[in-house]
Structure 1
Amino acid sequence: MSKNKTFIEIAKALGISPSTVSRALNDHPRISNETKQKVKKLALELDFTLNPMASSFRSNKTQTIGIIVPRISFYFHATVLTVVQNLLWKEGYQLIICQSNDSPEVEKELVNTLYASRVDGVIAATTLYTTDFSHYDILTRKQIPLVFYDRVPVNYYPAQIVKGDDYKGGFEAAEHLIKLGCKSIAHISGPLTCNLYKDRYAGYIDALKKYKIPYRQEMVFFHELSMDNAVESIQKIFKMETKPDGIFTANDTSAIGALMVARELGIEVPKEFKIVGYSNDPRSSIISPGITTIDQHPEIVGQQLAITILDLIRGTETKVELITEPTITPITLTIRESSKVL
């Protein structure tokens, strides 16, 4: 029996339209669970199954969206993924999750794979070292909606952008330490090829300038923000003749590393040394003393990403015409014991 005849037969038997039968078999979110169950039960009795691949070729839509993240293990990206997936599922879309492992080569391959998979849109947080974005051109040429988030192109690229207010986060972190009386503030950041660390570093610099606090190049480090790298840099800082009385690290892993080194050296936190991290990783709240940090609100980022990609997919204009100024999501200074006045 042909698919159309089966749709009509099911529709007549249940007193609904053939289009409702189609939507029910495709798990459309606007069709009630009761109707879906009735349709699927009767379809099973008629030995009918829907071919989603054939359906996607006819409609030119696959109801899938791809997302590329640097590392799924990062708290921020894991939270964003969960929010995006849940919201897209409610709208009838499946999320294909890809991990670049911070490799530009892998990122390029993933873009090509998602294009070949005929996804309806792509969301991407680039690697630390991506400076050439031409591998995304295949998407923009084919008018496939593209949204960059968190780690985004530093220069203009014809895609929508959702990013946190990293400059403000860096400024508020340094300003907080300054207002607590810190005069020698170290900074550990990621590679400046990445917009995140470029903006956080700029905020830190401007806070020092505003309050006329000396900038000390020897107390500033740029590298991947792993625990080992952080510990090595902080050990170097404490061997200097002039010791730091505060530190702003561009992630919470490095902030925890700073706390570990301070403990080993018998330096009291926050009495002698104050610490501010970035991201509000859950570990920053359960360690003792708790780490003051910048909350990036990944839930808000995830919500904005889902809204943005769906607006682009459903837009009737060309995708380039729909591009607006970057959407800036909020940050919040979350104060804990590592920087409190005793």
Structure 2
Amino acid sequence: MSKRTEKTIVDIAEELNLSVSTVSRALNDNPNISARTKEKVKKMARKLGYRPNALAAGLRNNKSKTIGLIVPRISMFFPATISTIIQNKLQEYGYHLIICQSNDSYEQEIALVNTLYSARVDGLVVSTTLYTTDFSHFDIFRTNNIPVVFFDRVPKDYDVKVIKGDDYLGGYLATSHLIERGCRDIVHISGPLSCNLYVERVAGYKKALQQHQIPVRKNRLFYQELTRESAWQTCKKIFSQKPYPDGIFASNDTTAITVMEYCRTIKVKVPEELKIVGYSNDPRTEIISPPISSVDQYPAMMGERVVAALMELINSPTAATKFTPEIIPIQLLERESSAAPVKHGRKKK
């Protein structure tokens, strides 16, 4: 098979007997080119199968109009939702998005950072892996004045733009809610403490217990990757012997849903015998029976703020000398999984 030859604007110009500069302006909708000429040029471009070389154009003007996004797993509700918001908002500014997933692998994250740098992206948006504690692989962006915005899973002592949820308050409200519903033996299923999210949610959990004079017990705290498989194994440990807990605060909704499923298998009634609160407001929490209380992280608000911050950095790259973390509010959504017992009034004789 013969090698396919890419058509260029020179070929279009020759077919239409126009100058190369006229063809270039027509393809870029230059107002000085008539509508009739633009239509002729674009029609011929389609006929010849012409493809604009975005990389070459980017090299000429030092802008690729492309942003890189690294998330842990695109299959998870929160990263998937916020990725869509970021892409849609970037399109309003004329930017395209390259979405990559690290699969929670630190080594893969390093490789993706280098790949996106080589792809000449104009900016980088990142939610790190569970295990990222060294952020030096992002230095290549910082030293070359390419904007980087971290969201959700973020560095603690690394001077970059950070946009995150109020995870401490989320942990505190979720635990306080269970206490207010009468729970006194509350399990918290957390992610690894190498990640900022879970450090703060655990701190909120402990604060709520302490405020109500409830002891923090090590055997009621579990640290793990928040997958269905891990949650199922943890449930086996939690319910291996009595007394069972009367409340469980799970640091994501996949874990909360798995707890609910496990309780069905051992005939523990929710919310009568065990109350559950999850985190992220995954849509599944509303349709499961009973619906699960959860902490809403407002992904749309976070995604919009991420893009706004990125555009500010792209348009004013030297404006910020010291970055202040931006905190997105959270809200506890109370549903049936943590409902209070129904009180029946006495019948009058």
The answer to whether the superposition gives a TM-score over 0.5 is: yes
Aligned to 1:24: 29
**What pairs with 1:244-259 in structure 2 (closer than 5 Å)?**
244-259=245-260
Are residue 280 (structure 1) and residue 285 (structure 2) matched? no
Distance 2:68 2:98 in 1: 5
Distance 1:38 1:148 in 2: 45
Letter in 1 for 2:38: V
SS in 1 for 2:29: helix
Letter in 1 for 2:85: V
Aligned to 1:107: 109
**What pairs with 1:208-223 in structure 2 (closer than 5 Å)?**
208-223=209-224
Deviation for aligned residue 1:264: 1.4
Q: Which runs of 5+ in 1 are unaligned?
A: 12-17, 26-30
Q: Deviations over 1:137-194 (max 9, x none)?
A: 101010100001111112x212100101111100000000001111100110000000
Deviation for aligned residue 1:233: 1.3
Distance 2:285 2:233 in 1: 20
SS in 1 for 2:188: strand
8 Å Cα contact 1:144-1:319 kept in structure 2: no
Deviation for aligned residue 1:91: 1.0
Distance 1:261 1:51 in 2: 54
Deviation for aligned residue 1:40: 5.5
Aligned to 1:15: none
Letter in 1 for 2:201: R
Deviation for aligned residue 1:242: 2.8
Deviation for aligned residue 1:53: 2.1
Letter in 2 for 1:187: H
Deviation for aligned residue 1:54: 2.0
Distance 2:329 2:294 in 1: 14
Structure 1 range deviating more: 205-214 or 41-50: 41-50
Residues 110 and 40 of structure 1: CA distance in aligned 2, closer, same or farther (over 3 Å): farther
Q: What TM-score do the two structures reach when normalised by structure 1?
A: 0.88
Residues 160 and 22 of structure 1: CA distance in aligned 2, closer, same or farther (over 3 Å): farther
Q: Deviations over 1:187-218 (max 9, x none)?
A: 10000000011111100000101111121211
Letter in 1 for 2:324: E
Q: What is the aligned residue count?
A: 323
Letter in 1 for 2:97: L
Distance 1:151 1:308 in 2: 16
SS in 2 for 1:284: helix
Deviation for aligned residue 1:37: 10
Aligned to 1:200: 201
Deviation for aligned residue 1:310: 1.0
SS in 2 for 1:193: coil
Letter in 1 for 2:279: Y
Match of 2:89 among 73, 80, 87: 87
Structure 1 range deviating more: 225-234 or 140-149: 225-234
Match of 2:150 among 120, 143, 148: 148
Aligned to 2:336: 337
Distance 1:151 1:162 in 2: 9
Distance 2:28 2:252 in 1: 45
Q: Which runs of 5+ in 2 are unaligned?
A: 1-8, 343-349
Distance 2:82 2:36 in 1: 31
Distance 1:253 1:52 in 2: 41
Letter in 1 for 2:323: T
8 Å Cα contact 2:159-2:323 kept in structure 1: no
Q: Deviations over 1:207-240 (max 9, x none)?
A: 1011111212111100101112112212211223
Are residue 238 (structure 1) and residue 243 (structure 2) matched? no
**What pairs with 1:1-342 in structure 2 (closer than 5 Å)?**
6=19, 9=22, 21=26, 23-24=28-29, 39=38, 41-45=40-44, 50-154=52-156, 156-315=157-316, 317-318=317-318, 321=321, 323-341=322-340, 342=342
Deviation for aligned residue 1:44: 3.9
Letter in 1 for 2:167: D
Letter in 2 for 1:55: A
Letter in 1 for 2:29: A
Deviation for aligned residue 1:24: 3.3
Letter in 1 for 2:318: T
Distance 1:49 1:252 in 2: 44
Distance 2:186 2:165 in 1: 23
Deviation for aligned residue 1:50: 4.1
Q: What TM-score do the two structures reach when normalised by structure 2?
A: 0.86
> Identical aligned pairs, as a percentage?
47
Distance 2:35 2:167 in 1: 45
Letter in 2 for 1:42: V
Deviation for aligned residue 1:58: 1.3
8 Å Cα contact 1:245-1:272 kept in structure 2: yes
Letter in 1 for 2:208: A
8 Å Cα contact 2:152-2:164 kept in structure 1: yes
Q: Deviations over 1:258-312 (max 9, x none)?
A: 1112111111110111000001111111110011000111111111111111111
